Amino acid sequence: MQIVHGTLTHFANPGAHPNNVYSPEQQAVLSVASAAQAIEEIQRWPGYAVTPLHSLSHLSQAAGIDRLWYKDESQRFGLKSFKALGGAYAVARQLQAVLKARYGKQPTITELLKGQWQSEAAEVVVSCATDGNHGRSVAWGAQLFGCGCVIYIHRDVSEGRKRAMEQYGAEVIRISGNYDESVRLADEEARKHNRVIVSDTSYEGYMEIPKDVALGYTVMLGEIVDQLAGAIPTHVFIQGGVGGLASAVCGYFWDLWGKKRPRLIIVEPEQANCLQQSARAGKPVVVDGDLETLMAGLACGEVSALAWTILANGADDFLTLSEAAIGQTMRLLASGYHGDPAIEAGESAVPGLAAALIARESNQFAQALGLDESSRVLVIGTEGATDPALYQQLISQ
């Protein structure tokens, strides 16, 4: 009996090899050493708490694998998403840089948190485009550290996610185009109004800030390593999007574990598979069209240039996942599978888990991905019910 029904398409990255060395160019984007400062800083923020790493023993047994770990980001800083780590950290870092340039002294993050630069910080405005979770983190970070915030959202972002950003004091502007068009408009308007773009995707002329976003994500990765207590997964199934999270996961584990690093499998929606298409082409390509998908946080048509620096030969496999699997997997987690913990997982949290379960049940995919009864699989549940109304609708079907 199948646990989750859905379809996959697979592309094995010809540039990947388990013995590839993590290069100096890749280390310049993200390394374990460069992550240490972000981890130390964020762990001192008010409300910081380690999120759970669930061992889903009943589900792993049913799937015919040795271990299945689920990193649960549904309550991170009350924002219900791992992105609380990246956007807010990048806001703090940009505030430090702007205030140093203006006043000749760089405030510490602790000083910003205590409001010791309140009037100076209030003159700075940060901005970004978002599907929801990154913008919520940027808006929260702006409120936390005392600066202004303008967020751009595309036509498919729900009203619930829009309101969630507004509750942190952000001005939220909806456009009629898609995500990539909102990125371009946010950049144009920032130049015009002297705002600081804090984006989780990088492009020509904009590389440094997305590095800080990725470094913020490493807090979660450091927690995972501690929670694994010496175990190393054989496989990581990770959601795609622009590739920011996937590259952080790939780079951190690659730098830490070297040749022992797990096989990295990237999962994307069928209509928004810019990473898979880029792997096929051997260079970044743009996926045009509406990018319509229930997996709202993954509705991205352009690869982050920085992410591609790592993923071009660090990602082993690229999968696309059908929409039908999403609600099923959310309900599976919400109910708790045969005694496994019940987990709140949003629609962009479950693609990695869904793809792993579907792949294991297919001889073709299991063989292609090296999945068998000895496999130890890690998935990252990147969000909880970030749109509560939609979440209830999906788990009630």
Biggest distance spanned by C-alpha atoms of the chain: 65
Long-range contacts, stretch 11-16, CB < 8 angstroms, 24+ apart: 11/276, 11/279, 11/280, 11/317, 11/318, 11/319, 12/316, 12/317, 12/368, 13/279, 13/313, 13/315, 13/316, 13/317, 13/318, 15/279, 15/282, 15/312, 15/313, 16/313, 16/314, 16/315, 16/316
Cα 320 from Cα 299, distance rounded (Å): 12
Contacts of 287 (CB under 8 A, 6+ apart): 271, 272, 273, 274, 277, 301, 302
Q: Which of 311, 319, 318, 312 is nearest to 251 (CA)?
A: 311
Distance from C-alpha of 67 to C-alpha of 353, rounded to nearest angstrom: 13
Q: How many CB atoms lie within 10 A of CB 158?
A: 16
Give every CB contact of residue 325 below 8 A, 6+ residues apart in sequence: 4, 5, 6, 350, 351, 354, 355, 358
In the numeric block, the tokens 């993050």 are attached to 109
Give which of 29, 304, 318, 306 is closest to 180, Cα–Cα: 304
Nearest to 183 by CA among 149, 154, 221, 147: 154
- The whole-angstrom distance between residue 248's C-alpha and the CA centroid of its chain comes to 9
**Which residues are part of the catalytic machinery?**
83, 131
